[in-house]
Amino acid sequence: MFGRKREPGDFRSEIAAHIQLEAERLREQGLSEEDAGAAARRSFGNVMQTEERFYEAKRWLSWDQLWQDVRYGLRMLAKHPGFTGIAVLTLALGIGANTAMFSVIEAVLLRPLSYSNADQLVSVASMWERGGVTTPYSCSPPDFFDWRDQNRSFSSMFAFHTSERALTGRGEAKRLRAVVTTAGIFPTLKVHPIIGREFTAEENRKGANHVAILGYGFWQADFGGLPDAIGKTIELDSEPYKIIGVMPRDFRFPLRDSDAYLPIGFDDKVMTQRGAHYLSVLGRLKPGVSVAQANEDLVAIMAELRRLYPDKDGKWGVQAERWSRRLVGDIRPALLVLLGAVGLVALIACANVSNLLLARATVRQREMAMRRALGAGRLRIVRQILTESLMLAICAGAASLLLAHWALLGIVRFGPKDIPRLASVGLNTAVLTFTLGVSVVSALLFALIPAMRSSRMEVGSLLKMSGSSSREAGRARSILLVGEVAFSMMLLAGAGLLVRSFVGLRSLNPGFDPQGVLTLDVSVPDAHYKNSLALEDYWDQALAKLRGLPGVTSVDAVTPLPLSGDDFSSSFSVEGRNIPEKDQQSAELRWATPHYFRTLGIPLRKGRTFTDADRLGAAGVLLISETAAHMFFPAGDAIGQKIDFGAGGGYEKNKGEIVGVVGDVRHFGLDAPIAPTFYVPLSQAGMDGASLVIRAQASPAALGQPARKLIQEIDRDALVGEPVMFDSLLADSLGQRLFYMMLLGAFAALALVLAAVGLYGVISYSVAQRTQEIGIRVAMGAARWQVLSMVMKNGLEFVLLGLAAGQGMALMLHRTMQGLLVGVSATDALTLLVAAAVLLLVAIVACYVPAWRAARMDPLVALRFE
């Protein structure tokens, strides 16, 4: 169809021959030379049209015509810079928002992880029921071994945890990011050291595990990328590790650069630690095995483990999920909601441009009619409109890239750090393809109605400019307008709900006062502190030194720090309640120095807090949080109860008598439920790491570096983290919610502006069309306010219809939105009302301007208006 079998010249000469033959025949019948020629041409009909049909029959998509359409389109667009500018800008905003949002989706959700056959990588997690919801949790070593050795679905599996290690023995300790892992990491991730060797299975055992494989970046920075690093020794936490290999340059695990990979070094007792959940497990599916099959396999194994070890595994389940999916957990539904929202913005932009085109089509009716009369087919007219629309959309798509680029800069800069791979967003090929696709689809969308209308028009009625067609155009415009208002209403309501939810969370009391408190993580090498006494002494020294800093009012230590993302939970027994181990309740456990509660402003409800006398060797004491007291001792008799947690995080066992009840702390963030918690005095636990909390009068932030120096003076091998202000931790804990709120807010604002512009455009246009009518009304004595209210009423009718439809749609949205909301219902009446009021207000302004202009019209000018 696209080939050109017959030259147009050949066809033209055939027609010439035809006319000549016909003329000759007529001459033979006695007509004059001149008359015969004219008659022959007349009986042939439209030569041009015949030739054109010859072209079109040959190729539906003729490059000649396309080129013609493009040139003509360019001229039309250039001749109406106002129209072109508004249309391109509107579309660019709509497409740009989509491009930016899709870039985020692409980077976070769609881009395959950078491991070979990454879709075979599956995360296996222990499942743990907390507050009615079953959530994935870390795994214990014995469970891992049983899964690994009994499954039939995975070709290999490994367990790991990440940790920070101090690079010591070379002056001030340097923080290394380490992955502590079993040897199965290499076959599972299908990655191998570029120099040196992998871990052996033997090196999984304690004692044989003092070897290290370096990350490429660390090797380059500290060993100059020299191969003789292999065989050298580095000191981690004051213990020697032999370097046996270097990982490839582009290897990132887990998803980020790590400095060192260390074998896990399980000791002989590991198989008894079935309750110690601290490992992450990844496996590679055998070819052809689905995640569902792997799950069946694992669930069966776990059922057997529950039967065999009811005490430790009785309450645990297991779940395999594609790793890429597990990484984005609840981020995924939020991003998809946002993608849907941004799609609505694009639709609003399309409706706006469609309206512009319809208005212009009325102006161009004569032109189109002329073209039809001169022989252009319907198809040709439609194609012309499509070509112009595509050109608009492609220009807008190109311009949108600039807008998206800026948006992405902002997203990378201000986006939350805990959305994986968000920082890697960029306008890559996938995104550009998407933008092109969206541009083309929007062109088809916004050109659809104008194209359909223009092709249906009859030449005669067009030339006469009959009124019916413009009434029909008016109807199309009103439908588009109602749709725009409805979509804007939905977006505004959605954004409003997120704002309410966010403001509600922000106003929640975290249970402590984070203002003016600096936090600093400190951990010391076990090798230097062989017993709890040495550790107690270390913390005493550290706190004493810091208290001497100018401006410091108090210094205390706690672990795990609230909002740090770390937590520690354990089951416990209550003296006098004989409950088998598998039915024991569990609670969160924290270790703190005596005045921690005063420093952070955590209120004492009952009894006493810790004192300086609650030291190692003294009677064991515990504090309990309000929620825990209610939950475990509903009779209000918590104080005096003797609790035993068994082994804890430090050298000592955690058991003692409850001496007081303290206020609840939202450890997991403002949007997470409050967990029942016990506190143990830090000195009674023998802990080798804790977070210092420093309250100071003036600017605590300035104390960070001096504080670090003081700590390092005590033990230069101690690992000291970066000082962080507590209130910024609190803000970060709502980072994702803030991010979603800002994005949806931006989309809603965009929608509002576009809808207002659309409304303004349509009302202005209808005023322009009714100029004469309005002039007559004024001349006949209509008052200005009557004209004003007439025009306003005309516009606000659409708005009210749109608002009603939008309210309905917003109510249908509640299931989509509910997951993103805390403390506010998705059908919150106040939010819907406020959203409607905002939209109505903007709509009134958008209609008032053209209405006011209509009311001020001079009737004489209006009547003369053509």
Partner 1 sequence: MSTQEERERLELLQGTLDLLILRTLIFGAQHGQGIARAIQQTSDDELLVEHGALYPALQRLEERGWISAKWGISSNNRKARFYSLTASGRKQLGKETTKWKRLTAAIGRILESEGG
Taking the least distance from each CB to partner 1, the nearer of 48 and 647 is: 48
Q: Give the residue among 488, 485, 480 at the shortest CA–CA distance from 453.
A: 480
Min. distance of Cβ 14 from partner 1 in angstroms? Answer: 5
Min. distance of Cβ 66 from partner 1 in angstroms? Answer: 21
Taking the least distance from each CB to partner 1, the nearer of 27 and 306 is: 27
Pairing of strands 174-181, 260-263: parallel
Taking the least distance from each CB to partner 1, the nearer of 20 and 509 is: 20
Q: Which residues contact 159 (CB under 8 A, 6 or more apart)?
A: 139, 141, 144, 181, 182, 184, 264, 279, 280, 281
- Contact status, residue 732 vs residue 417, Cβ threshold 8 Å: yes
Q: Which residues contact 207 (CB under 8 A, 6 or more apart)?
A: 265
User: Which two structure tokens, joined as six digits, stand for 382?
Assistant: 């439609």
User: Which two structure tokens, joined as six digits, stand for 550?
Assistant: 């100018």
- Contact status, residue 569 vs residue 620, Cβ threshold 8 Å: no
- What is the end-to-end Cα distance of the chain in Å, rounded? 47
Residue 154 and residue 320: Cα distance in Å, rounded? 11
Q: How buried is 86 (Cβ within 10 angstroms: 0-12 exposed, 13-18 middle, 19+ buried)?
A: middle
Supply φ then ψ for residue 184, to 5 degrees: -65, -5
Helix (H, G, I), strand (E, B) or coil at 647: strand
Taking the least distance from each CB to partner 1, the nearer of 17 and 619 is: 17
Residue 308 and residue 244: Cα distance in Å, rounded? 40
Structure-derived torsion over alpha carbons of residues 398, 403, 405, 409, reported in degrees to the nearest 10: 180
Taking the least distance from each CB to partner 1, the nearer of 5 and 815 is: 5
Min. distance of Cβ 54 from partner 1 in angstroms? Answer: 6
750 alpha carbon, distance to own chain's centre:
18
Taking the least distance from each CB to partner 1, the nearer of 19 and 805 is: 19
User: Which two structure tokens, joined as six digits, stand for 832?
Assistant: 């819907």
Min. distance of Cβ 365 from partner 1 in angstroms? Answer: 28
Min. distance of Cβ 53 from partner 1 in angstroms? Answer: 5
Min. distance of Cβ 64 from partner 1 in angstroms? Answer: 17
Min. distance of Cβ 385 from partner 1 in angstroms? Answer: 24
Min. distance of Cβ 21 from partner 1 in angstroms? Answer: 4
Min. distance of Cβ 7 from partner 1 in angstroms? Answer: 12
Min. distance of Cβ 28 from partner 1 in angstroms? Answer: 9
Pairing of strands 569-571, 174-181: unpaired
Residue 689 and residue 651: Cα distance in Å, rounded? 12
Taking the least distance from each CB to partner 1, the nearer of 25 and 256 is: 25
String of DSSP letters for 793-819: HHHHHHHHHHHHHHHHHHHHTHHHHHT
User: Which two structure tokens, joined as six digits, stand for 656?
Assistant: 């003692």
Residue 453 and residue 455: Cα distance in Å, rounded? 5
Min. distance of Cβ 47 from partner 1 in angstroms? Answer: 7
Min. distance of Cβ 796 from partner 1 in angstroms? Answer: 50
Q: How buried is 423 (Cβ within 10 angstroms: 0-12 exposed, 13-18 middle, 19+ buried)?
A: middle
Radius of gyration of the chain (CA): 37
Taking the least distance from each CB to partner 1, the nearer of 33 and 228 is: 33
Residue 589 and residue 679: Cα distance in Å, rounded? 6
Taking the least distance from each CB to partner 1, the nearer of 14 and 267 is: 14
Q: Give the residue among 297, 265, 251 at the shortest CA–CA distance from 124.
A: 297
User: Which two structure tokens, joined as six digits, stand for 388?
Assistant: 């112009």
Min. distance of Cβ 373 from partner 1 in angstroms? Answer: 17
Taking the least distance from each CB to partner 1, the nearer of 14 and 858 is: 14
Min. distance of Cβ 24 from partner 1 in angstroms? Answer: 6
Binding site for partner 1 (CB under 8 A): 11, 13-15, 17-22, 24-25, 43-47, 49-50, 53-54, 57
Taking the least distance from each CB to partner 1, the nearer of 11 and 128 is: 11
Residue 613 and residue 121: Cα distance in Å, rounded? 52
Min. distance of Cβ 37 from partner 1 in angstroms? Answer: 14
Within 448-594, strands assigned E span: 517-523, 552-559, 569-571, 573-574, 586-592
- Contact status, residue 694 vs residue 703, Cβ threshold 8 Å: yes
